[in-house]
Structure 1
Amino acid sequence: MHIGEILLALGGAFLAAGILARLGAKIGLPTIPLFILAGVLLGPHTPGLALVSDPSYFELLSKLGLVFLLFYLGLEFHLDDLINGGRRLVAAGIGYLVLNIGGGLAFGFALGWGTREAFVLAGVVGISSSAIVSKLLIELGRLRNPESRLILGIIVVEDVFLAFYLAALQPVLGDAASLGAAFVEFGIAFVFLVVLFGLARWGSRLVSRLLDVRADELLVVMFVGLAVVVAGAAEELGVSDAIGAFMIGLVIGSTPHAERVTTLVHPLRDAFAAIFFFTFGLTIDPGDVVSVAGPIAIAVVLTIVLNAIAGLGAARLYGFDRRAGTNVAVTVLTRGEFSIVLGTLAIGAGLDARVAAFAAGYVLVLAIIGPLAVVRTEWLSRLVPVRVLPAAEGPAPDDRAGADPTAAAEDAASASR
C-alpha cells in the first residue's frame, strides 16, 4: 500500500470503530468488543469491503495502543499498593495462574493436538488480556474501586509470569537451541524486571528531573519517549512490552509530574487503544474459527468456571463482599493480545494450524462475553452464595457506570484531571 492508501485506511479505521462503538453505547455496550467487531467486519478475511488487506500495516500503531494503555495503568497504580499487597497479592496471583494455566494445560492435552501444542494452549487459555482489563477499568470508571487494586495486582503478577513463561516456551517454539539457552533468556528477563522494579522504587527522583519542563508540548515528547523506549527495551530482552510500559508508568506516577502526565496522555491512550483493538479484529478469520467451534465452546466454559473460582477465592482472601468478588472474577475473564501472539508463534514454529484458529476464536468470544459481564456485575453478584462471600451493603459504586459506559469513562477522565 502507498502512504495515501494507508492514511485512508487508518482514517477509515478510526471512523468505523468510532461509529460502531457510538451505536453500541446507546444500548449500554462497552466499546472494546465493538472496536474488535469493526476490525473483523472490515478485515481481509470477511466478504465485502476490506479496509485493510494486511493487518501488519497497523502493527506499530497497534503496539503503541498497548503501550499507552499500560503506561496509563502504571500512572494510576501506586507502587505501595503492589508492595503492601504482600503475601495476599502473591497468593491471589499464584492461585489464579495455577488454576488457569493448569486448566489450560489439561485442556490442551485432552484435545490431543500434540504435546507442544498443549503447552502453547496453556498460555492461550491461562493468561488475561492486560489491554482489555485496563481499558475496562478505565472505561467504566472503576479504577478507584477497592477491588480494582487486586485486579491490577493479578494482572501485574501475570505479566511478570509472562516473561518467564515465554522464555520457558522457547525450546517448544524452536527459537532457543537448547534448554541452557532458554535459561539464559530467562535470566536476562529476570534481571531486567529487577532493574525496572528498582527504578520504580528508588529512581523516581532522576526521572522527575528529566520531566521537569514547563511546556506541555515538551512534557508529552519526553514521557512518550520514556514509555516507548522502556517498552521496546523490555520486548527486546524477552519481557512483555506491556510490563515495561506499566513499570515506567509506575515510576512517573510517583513524581510531582504525575497529574500533568495523566491528563496529557488521555487522548493518546484513547486513540491508539481504538486502533489496537481494531487491528486485533483484522487478524481474525471467521471461517477458521468455525472449524474449531467445539473446542472454543469448551474452553470458554472452562475459563468462566476457573475464573469464577480464582476470582471469588481472591476476593475472600481480601475480605471483599460478593459484588466486589464478582467484579474481580469477570474483569480478569477476557483474553487478548498474548493469546493471539502465541497463536502466531505456533504457526511460525510449524505447530498444528488449529492452534492459531482456536486462539483467534477463543479470544473473540471472551472479548465479547467479558466486557458484557463486567457491566452486569451487580446482577451476576446475586448468583454468588452468601456463604461464599457476604452480601454487599449499600448501592453499587459503579451502577451508573454499568448503565452508561461512555459517561463513566468521561467522568473517570474528568476526575483524574
Structure 2
Amino acid sequence: MGHADTLLAMGGAFLAAAFLARLGARFGVPTIPLFMLAGLLLGPHTPGLVLVSDPHDFEMLSALGLVLLLFYLGLEFKLDDLRRGGRRLLTAGGIYLLLNVGAGLGFGFALDWGAREALVLAGVLGISSSAIVTKILIDLGRISRPETRLILGVIVVEDLFLALYLAALQPVIGGAEGAGETLLQAAKAFGFLLVLAAAARYGTRLVGRLIQVRDNELLVISFLGAAVLVAGVSELLGVADAIGAFMVGLILAGTSSGPRIRKLVHPLRDAFAAIFFFAFGLALDPARLVSVAGPVAAAAALTIVMNVIAGLLVARTYGYGPEPAADIATTLVARGEFALILGAMAVSAGLDGRLSSFIAGYVLVLAILGPVIAKRADLLARALRAVRPAPPSPAPSEEEAPVPAER
C-alpha cells in the first residue's frame, strides 16, 4: 500500500465510521457495531467501493486502538470499589460470571469447534461491554439510581476477571506444546502481572514523580510511550499486549497526574478504538456471517436468558423490588469491545475461522438488542409485580456498592 493510498484509506475509514455513527445516533444504536459495519461495507468481501483491499494494512493501527482501549479501562478501574463493595459485590459479580461464563463454555463445547475455541467463547459470552452498558445508563437517565451502583460494581468484577482470564488464556490458545510449556508460559505471564500489580499497589508515588510534567504534550508522549512499551514487553512474555496496557493504566490512575491523563487520552482512545472496530469489520466475510447465523441467534438468546436469571438472583440478594430488579436484569446484556478483543486474539492464534465471524455477528446482535431490552425493563418489572408483589427497594449503603465512575 503506497503512502497516498494509506492516507486515503485512513481518512476514508474515519469519515465512514463517523458518518454511520452519527446516523445510528438518531436511532439510539451504539457506535461499536456501526464502526464494524463501516469496515464490513468498505472491505474486500463486499461488492462496491473497496477502501482497504488488505485488512493487514490496518494491523498496527488496530493494535494501537486495542492498547488504548485497555489502557483507558485501567485508568478507570478502581480497586477501592471492590473493597467498598465487600463480599456481597463479589458474590453479585460471581453470580454473573458463573452463569454467563459457564453457559458460554458449555455452548462452545456444544458447537464442537474445538476446546481452545470453547475457552474463547466462554469469555465472549461471559463478559458485558462496559462501554455500552455505561452509555445505556447515561442515555436512560439511570446513573443516579441506587441499583446503578450495583450494576457498575458487577462491571468492575467482570473487568478484573477479564484481565486474569486473558492472561491465563494466552498460552493456551497460543499453541503451547504440552502441559509443562503451558504452565511455564502461564507462570511467566502471572509473574509479570504480579510485578505490575505490585507497582500499582506500592509504586504509584515513584511513578507519579517520574511522569509528572506541566506540559500536556510531554505528558501525552510519556504515558503513550509507557503503555505501548509495556504492551510490547507483555507480548514477548506471553501476556496479551492489551493486558500490559491495562496494568499501566492501573498504575497511572493512582498518580497525581491520573485525572489529567484520563482527560488527555480520551480523544486518542475514541479515534483509535474506532479504527480497531473498523479493522475488525474489514476482515469479516458476509458469507461467513450468514453461515453462523444459527449459532449467533442461539448464543444471543442464551445470553439474554442467563443475564435475566443472574440479574434477578443478584437483586434478590440485595433485597431489591421489581423495578430495580428489572433494571439490573436487563442492563448487562450488551456485548462489545471485550468480545472483539478475544476475537482478535483468536485470529492471531489461528483458531477456527468461523470464530471471528461468529463473534462479530454476536456482538452486532447484542450491541443493538442490549439498549432496546434495557429500555423496556418496565415489561419485566410488570411481570415480576404480577408474580410476587414486593416492598419498596432499600437503597444500598456506601459500603455495599461502588460509586458510579464517569467513563
Residue matched to 1:333: 334
Partner amino acid, structure 1, of 2:170:
L
How far off is 1:328 after superposition?
Answer: 6.8
Residue matched to 1:407: none
Partner amino acid, structure 1, of 2:31:
T
Match of 2:168 among 156, 164, 167: 164
Is the 8 Å Cα contact of residues 323 and 381 (structure 1) preserved in structure 2? Answer: no
Aligned to 1:20, the other structure's residue is in SS state: helix
Instruction: Specify whether residues 112 and 28 from structure 1 end up closer, same or farther in structure 2 by C-alpha distance, changes over 3 A only.
Output: closer
| In 2: Cα distance, 1:112 partner to 1:239 partner | 27
Q: Are residue 302 (structure 1) and residue 311 (structure 2) matched?
A: no
With structure 2 as the length reference, what TM-score do the two structures score?
0.82
Instruction: Specify whether residues 201 and 390 from structure 1 end up closer, same or farther in structure 2 by C-alpha distance, changes over 3 A only.
Output: farther
Is the 8 Å Cα contact of residues 167 and 186 (structure 2) preserved in structure 1? Answer: yes
Residue matched to 2:381: 382
| In 1: Cα distance, 2:220 partner to 2:133 partner | 25
How far off is 1:302 after superposition?
Answer: 0.7
How far off is 1:258 after superposition?
Answer: 1.9
Moved more, 240-249 or 151-160: 240-249
Is the 8 Å Cα contact of residues 310 and 329 (structure 1) preserved in structure 2? Answer: no
| In 2: Cα distance, 1:8 partner to 1:287 partner | 27
RMSD after superposition? 3.4
| In 2: Cα distance, 1:137 partner to 1:75 partner | 20
Kindly provide the CA deviation profile for residues 91-149 of structure 1, in whole angstroms up to 9, marking residues without a partner as x.
Answer: 33433332223212322333344555544443443344566667777888988852323
Matches within 5 A, 1:108-123: 108-114=108-114, 117-123=117-123
Q: Are residue 281 (structure 1) and residue 284 (structure 2) matched?
A: no
Partner amino acid, structure 2, of 1:155:
D
Partner amino acid, structure 2, of 1:96:
Y
The percentage of counterpart residues that share the same residue type is 55
Is the 8 Å Cα contact of residues 63 and 276 (structure 1) preserved in structure 2? Answer: yes
Partner amino acid, structure 1, of 2:40:
V
Task: Name structure 2 gaps, 5 residues minimum.
Answer: 396-403
| In 2: Cα distance, 1:316 partner to 1:195 partner | 39
Matches within 5 A, 1:11-410: 11-114=11-114, 117-129=117-129, 145-146=148-149, 147-167=151-171, 169-170=172-173, 175-318=175-318, 322-323=323-324, 326-327=327-328, 329-331=330-332, 333-335=334-336, 336-341=339-344, 343-344=346-347, 348-349=350-351, 351=352, 353-373=353-373, 376=375, 379=378, 382=381, 385=384
Instruction: Specify whether residues 247 and 50 from structure 1 end up closer, same or farther in structure 2 by C-alpha distance, changes over 3 A only.
Output: same
Instruction: Specify whether residues 112 and 218 from structure 1 end up closer, same or farther in structure 2 by C-alpha distance, changes over 3 A only.
Output: closer
Aligned to 1:385, the other structure's residue is in SS state: helix
Is the 8 Å Cα contact of residues 315 and 328 (structure 2) preserved in structure 1? Answer: no
Partner amino acid, structure 2, of 1:28:
G
Instruction: Specify whether residues 137 and 261 from structure 1 end up closer, same or farther in structure 2 by C-alpha distance, changes over 3 A only.
Output: farther
Moved more, 250-259 or 139-148: 139-148
How far off is 1:8 after superposition?
Answer: 0.7
Aligned to 1:200, the other structure's residue is in SS state: helix
With structure 1 as the length reference, what TM-score do the two structures score?
0.81
Q: Give the number of aligned pairs.
A: 390
Instruction: Specify whether residues 245 and 355 from structure 1 end up closer, same or farther in structure 2 by C-alpha distance, changes over 3 A only.
Output: closer
How far off is 1:62 after superposition?
Answer: 1.9
How far off is 1:372 after superposition?
Answer: 4.5
Instruction: Specify whether residues 61 and 373 from structure 1 end up closer, same or farther in structure 2 by C-alpha distance, changes over 3 A only.
Output: farther
Partner amino acid, structure 1, of 2:55:
P
Kindly provide the CA deviation profile for residues 29-55 of structure 1, in whole angstroms up to 9, marking residues without a partner as x.
Answer: 332222221111111111111111122
Is the 8 Å Cα contact of residues 70 and 246 (structure 1) preserved in structure 2? Answer: yes
Kindly provide the CA deviation profile for residues 335-378 of structure 1, in whole angstroms up to 9, marking residues without a partner as x.
Answer: 422342354257x25x4x4444333322332233235545x265
| In 1: Cα distance, 2:100 partner to 2:389 partner | 20
Aligned to 1:19, the other structure's residue is in SS state: helix
Instruction: Specify whether residues 112 and 383 from structure 1 end up closer, same or farther in structure 2 by C-alpha distance, changes over 3 A only.
Output: farther
Is the 8 Å Cα contact of residues 33 and 371 (structure 1) preserved in structure 2? Answer: no
Task: Name structure 1 gaps, 5 residues minimum.
Answer: 395-411
| In 1: Cα distance, 2:126 partner to 2:333 partner | 11
How far off is 1:81 after superposition?
Answer: 1.2
Instruction: Specify whether residues 305 and 382 from structure 1 end up closer, same or farther in structure 2 by C-alpha distance, changes over 3 A only.
Output: same
Instruction: Specify whether residues 51 and 159 from structure 1 end up closer, same or farther in structure 2 by C-alpha distance, changes over 3 A only.
Output: same
Residue matched to 1:400: none
Instruction: Specify whether residues 245 and 385 from structure 1 end up closer, same or farther in structure 2 by C-alpha distance, changes over 3 A only.
Output: farther
